Amino acid sequence: MTVQSSQISQAEPAAIAIAGLRKTYSGRRGGAAREALKGVDLAIRPGELFGLLGPNGAGKSTLINILAGLVIKTAGTVSVCGFDIDRNPRMVRSAIGIVPQELSVDPFFTPREALELQGGLYGVPKRERRTDELLRALFLTDVADGYSRRMSGGMKRRLMVAKAMVHTPPVLVLDEPTAGVDVELRQNLWAMIRELNARGTTILLTTHYLEEAQELCERIAIINHGEVVACDSTANLVQRIDRKDLIILLDRDLTGIPAQLARFDAEQRGPRTLRIRYQRSETEMSAILTGLQASGLHVVDLSTEESDLEDVFVALTTKTKPVLPAAAQ
């Protein structure tokens, strides 16, 4: 049975709901057990484009493999479009499409044959299959009847997305979809992801490219050592790092940091350039400008640099504690 997006109740609170999810791998040959997931809680809304980030070994692959039915969880609950992964595994598989990171296509099948076979495996009747539509949508029409082994890596990745969509799942999981592709193909895949999401498909995206998550995702969860260390809108996560850099070009060469700026975190970056790093919650830019004026220096040019998602990621996945605004501490 295929679950169409229209079948999902509007009252359903989450396209993917995960609560208290734990996974412990037994140690080999008497070794110590390893807890890959430590009570993960996540709720992804219908129609959302959600990012899941984390360093290697953080638990992302284990979580995705549990969703795909490839790994049995140790504890907790998982549901997709309201279907519990334990009580309704067939409905969960029908409601979700998984695009793994590894390229895996049969070299002796054409893309058309691969999609037809995949549709049959999901029990999609021939009259309801969308093979031609998917080939067009993923720009594979020109290679539809050639052997897959002759396709480029980018074409194979698009074919894997098409295979995941043959049963029209309301939820699509993309595991590192742009890994190892060139810049042009990455932009094409971004456009494809946006188009799928605009049509109502809920997308869970894992990626190592932080600019990709910042560009595409409405909300992001960061997982580290099996635990969710942050989950918020992309904009709010970036604001979690209360840091701003002020780049100042002056009218004359400096011999050092002026005494009037000694109380700030100032660094000379060139004969006439200063970088001043400050926390917005504690220091106003006007105080810095007042110090400059008192030193007798004149500003020729001024620019600012704010935190991005990479700063948040590094702060939350290392021992360095993120600097939070006073109100958030």
Q: In 3D, which of 204, 200, 163, 194 has the Cα closest to residue 4?
A: 200
For 16, 81, 222, 240, 278, the CA distances from 281, given in Å and listed in that order, are 36, 41, 24, 11, 9
pLDDT of residue 106: 87
**Rounded-to-integer distance, Cα 137 and Cα 117, Å:** 18
pLDDT tens, per residue, the chain with 329 residues = 444 443 444 455 599 999 999 999 987 776 788 899 999 999 999 999 999 998 888 899 999 999 999 999 999 999 999 999 999 999 999 999 999 888 888 889 999 999 999 999 999 999 999 999 999 988 899 999 999 988 988 888 889 989 999 999 999 999 988 876 777 778 888 888 899 899 999 999 998 777 888 889 999 999 988 999 889 998 888 776 667 788 999 888 888 898 888 888 888 988 989 888 877 667 888 888 888 888 888 888 888 776 666 777 777 777 544 444 433 33
DSSP string of 125-171, one letter each residue: -GGG--HHHHHHHTT-GGGTTS-GGGS-HHHHHHHHHHHHTTT--SE
Q: In 3D, which of 48, 43, 44, 26 has the Cα closest to residue 35?
A: 26
**Rounded-to-integer distance, Cα 251 and Cα 292, Å:** 12
pLDDT of residue 80: 95
pLDDT of residue 5: 41
pLDDT of residue 1: 43
Residue spans of the domains in the chain: they are 5-238, 244-306
pLDDT of residue 326: 37
DSSP character at residue 309: H
CATH match of 5-238 with 3.30.540.10 = no
**Long-range own/partner contacts, residues 278-285 (CB < 8 A, 24 or more apart):** 278/243, 278/244, 278/246, 279/242, 279/243, 279/244, 279/323, 280/242, 280/243, 280/244, 280/325, 281/242, 281/325, 281/326, 281/327, 282/326, 285/246
**Rounded-to-integer distance, Cα 81 and Cα 17, Å:** 8
34-44, strands of its sheet edge to edge: 34-44, 16-25, 75-80, 83-84
- The residues facing 225 across adjacent strands are none
Please name the residues in contact with 171: beta carbons below 8 A apart, sequence gap of 6 or more.
15, 16, 80, 81, 95, 96, 97, 201, 202, 203, 204
Helix (H, G, I), strand (E, B) or coil at 257: coil
Please name the residues in contact with 104: beta carbons below 8 A apart, sequence gap of 6 or more.
160
pLDDT of residue 329: 35
* Prediction pTM value: 0.73
The structure tokens listed for 211 are 């600019």
pLDDT of residue 184: 79
The structure tokens listed for 241 are 């790092």
**Rounded-to-integer distance, Cα 14 and Cα 158, Å:** 27
CATH level 3 topology of 244-306: Alpha-Beta Plaits (3.30.70)
Q: What phi and psi values does residue 244 have, to the nearest 5 degrees?
A: -145, 140
